[in-house]
């Protein structure tokens, strides 16, 4: 529920002789203690946990979509293992159970100086503290030939939802014997093991539905997350089906022709696919970059304890958009950061000391529906960055047996149910 502006409260307080902190900065009529932009892994978590920790604070969550499709498990949709609606989540509990004002509109601009968010139609929403968790946007100018039309012809499916459905439809329509090309971007990008899980799940589908088909991964990097485990499993489960070209093998794509479904490599080789999943280079969400909150690389530097922007007071940035030291851009990271940001935003609003962060991340990947692998680590805030704690976490063992891999796939299902309940339950 919105509250009165601080100016109004200030006047009332003066009239009654009470002493309160009076700010005349924001002139918005509609105001909340905290406004969260983006109802995904970081934002939904932060909004809910602020209300959990401090039920008296008013919280608005601005999220453009009424349904949130998780990227985690979207590769299983591409592999035909799960339907799209199994990764769909709504915001009803956040509104009815947690008392969050959920606003389904696209936030236009944030004005950190005036402490307000400009919405379509001239609506302005003021805040004492804002938390931005807008995820990623794409750098459409980074690769020549890749443009808005390419988004439809070569669905990236790197934001789950309609793009996941479109890419799945292309895979279903492909002839047996076709080539699927997957082209991940350079680091950093959302979900480092995601492209390789995607190759695995598409291979799982092709193995039975279109066994003469091939998958080619054109990679601008020299190594990738969980590489040894993925490659071992590919040999065992999908022999001869997946080819991976690293940067040194001429894997870097420098030009795209979306109409011809062609990708050109740095050494001039043209690869033609029947389905092309080009995953473009990424930046912080556009609401953050438009407000000048990003650095030259396109990501938002933040205080590693409070997640307050290094470029704007009272605006906190979490999740994929933030520069979070050693933490990977994952849903688990965003969820973990959402809780620490919530704690520290409440601390600031109630005059308490900030709390140092301790964070966790586990990234599960499916190589087949009953074959899971994982990497895990614990992190902590230092004054300059977020660092991994030596000796924490680890990687799945290389030569584990089928039961072990099946158990990890089972744990991944449990992780998904738990984290989505934590965000939306």
- Binding interface with ligand FAD (CB under 6 A): 37-43, 62-65, 68, 71-72, 74-75, 106-107, 133-135, 158, 190-191, 194, 198, 285, 287, 319-321, 329-332, 334, 363-364
Residue with Cβ nearer ligand FAD (143 or 201): 201
Contact yes or no for 356/305 (Cβ under 8 A): yes
Shortest Cβ distance from residue 69 to ligand FAD (Å)? 9
Residues 6+ apart with CB under 8 A from 277: 154, 155, 156, 157, 167, 180, 181, 182, 183, 198
Of the two residues 39 and 178, which places its CB atom closer to ligand FAD in the complex? 39
Look at residue 106 and give its three-state secondary structure: coil
CB of 36 to ligand FAD, least distance (A): 9
In the complex, the smallest distance separating the C-beta of residue 363 from ligand FAD, rounded to whole angstroms, is: 5
Shortest spacing between CB 374 and ligand FAD, in angstroms: 9
Nearer to ligand FAD, 6 or 285 (CB): 285
| Residue 46: closest CA among 136, 132, 160, 159 | 132
Q: Report helix, strand or coil for 154.
A: coil
Task: Please classify residue 374 by burial: count the beta carbons closer than 10 Å to its beta carbon, then call 0-12 exposed, 13-18 middle and 19+ buried.
Answer: buried
Least distance (Å) between residue 109 CB and ligand FAD? 9
Task: Provide the minimum distance between the beta carbon of 18 and ligand FAD in the complex, in angstroms, as a whole number.
Answer: 36
CB-nearer residue toward ligand FAD: 71 or 312: 71
CB 310 to ligand FAD: min, Å: 18
Kindly give, in sequence order, each residue whose CB lies less than 8 Å from that of residue 251, ignoring residues fewer than 6 positions away: 217, 218, 219, 220, 221, 244, 245, 265
Q: How many residues does the chain have?
A: 425
Going by C-alpha positions, the residue among 39, 36, 33, 132 that lies closest to residue 423 is: 39
Residue in 184, 193, 182, 191 with CA at minimum distance from that of residue 228: 193
Q: Which 3 state secondary structure label does DSSP give 411?
A: helix
* CB closer to ligand FAD out of 6 and 156: 156
Rounded to a whole number of angstroms, the minimum distance from the CB of residue 314 to ligand FAD is: 18
Q: Which is nearer to ligand FAD, 261 or 322 (CB)?
A: 322
Least distance (Å) between residue 93 CB and ligand FAD: 16
Q: How far is CA 203 from CA 243, 244, 310, in A?
A: 11, 13, 43
What residues are paired with 195 via a beta bridge? none
Cβ nearer to ligand FAD, comparing 63 with 128: 63
Q: 132, 117 in Cβ contact below 8 A?
A: no
What is the pairing mode between strands 386-388 and 371-381?
antiparallel
Please give the span between the terminal C-alpha atoms of the chain, in angstroms, as a whole number. Answer: 20
CA distance 9 to 62: 24
Give the residue with the Cβ less far from ligand FAD, 36 or 241: 36
* Residue pair 300/317 in contact by the 8 Å Cβ criterion: yes
Specify the residue, 58 or 75, whose C-beta has the smaller distance to ligand FAD. Answer: 75
Instruction: Tell me whether residue 45 or residue 265 sits nearer to ligand FAD (CB atom).
Output: 45
* CB-nearest residue to ligand FAD: 40
Please report how close the Cβ of residue 132 comes to ligand FAD at its closest, in angstroms.
8
Residue 42 token pair? 């970081």
């Amino acid at each position: 529920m919105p509250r009165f502006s601080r100016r109004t409260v200030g006047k009332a307080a003066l009239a009654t002789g009470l002493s309160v902190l009076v700010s005349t900065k924001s002139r918005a009529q509609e105001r909340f203690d905290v406004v969260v932009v983006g109802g995904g892994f970081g934002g939904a978590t932060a909004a809910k946990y602020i209300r959990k920790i401090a039920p008296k604070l008013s919280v608005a969550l601005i999220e453009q979509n009424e349904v949130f499709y998780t990227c985690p498990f979207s590769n299983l949709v591409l592999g035909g293992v799960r339907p799209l609606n199994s990764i769909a989540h709504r915001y009803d509990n956040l509104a009815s159970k947690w008392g969050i004002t959920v606003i389904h509109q696209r936030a236009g601009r944030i004005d950190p100086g005036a402490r307000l968010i400009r919405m379509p139609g001239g609506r302005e929403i003021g805040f004492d503290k804002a938390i931005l968790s807008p995820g990623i946007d794409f750098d459409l100018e980074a690769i020549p030939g890749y443009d808005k039309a390419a988004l439809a012809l070569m669905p990236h499916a790197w934001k789950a939802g309609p793009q996941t459905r479109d890419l799945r439809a292309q895979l279903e329509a492909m002839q047996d014997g076709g080539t699927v090309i997957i082209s991940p971007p350079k680091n950093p990008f959302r979900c480092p093991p995601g492209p390789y899980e995607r190759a695995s799940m598409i291979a799982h589908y092709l193995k039975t539905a279109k066994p003469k088909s091939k998958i080619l991964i054109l990679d601008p990097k020299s190594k990738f997350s969980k590489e040894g485990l993925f490659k071992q499993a590919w040999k065992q489960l999908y022999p001869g089906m997946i080819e991976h070209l690293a940067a040194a093998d001429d894997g870097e794509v420098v030009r795209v022709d979306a109409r011809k479904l062609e990708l050109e490599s740095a050494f001039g080789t043209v690869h033609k696919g029947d389905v092309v999943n080009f995953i473009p280079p990424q930046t912080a969400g556009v609401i953050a970059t438009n407000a000048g909150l990003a650095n030259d690389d396109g990501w938002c530097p933040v205080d590693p304890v409070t997640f307050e922007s290094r470029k704007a007071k009272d605006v906190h940035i979490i999740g994929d958009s933030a520069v979070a030291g050693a933490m990977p851009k994952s849903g688990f990271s965003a969820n973990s950061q959402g809780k620490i940001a919530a704690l520290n935003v409440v601390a600031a609003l109630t005059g308490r000391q900030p709390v140092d962060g301790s964070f966790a991340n586990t990234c599960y990947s499916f190589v087949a529906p009953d074959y899971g692998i994982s990497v895990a680590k614990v992190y902590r805030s230092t004054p300059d960055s977020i660092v991994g704690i030596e000796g924490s976490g680890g990687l799945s063992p290389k030569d584990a047996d089928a039961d072990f891999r099946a158990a990890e796939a089972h744990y991944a299902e449990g992780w998904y149910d738990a984290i989505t309940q934590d965000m939306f339950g």
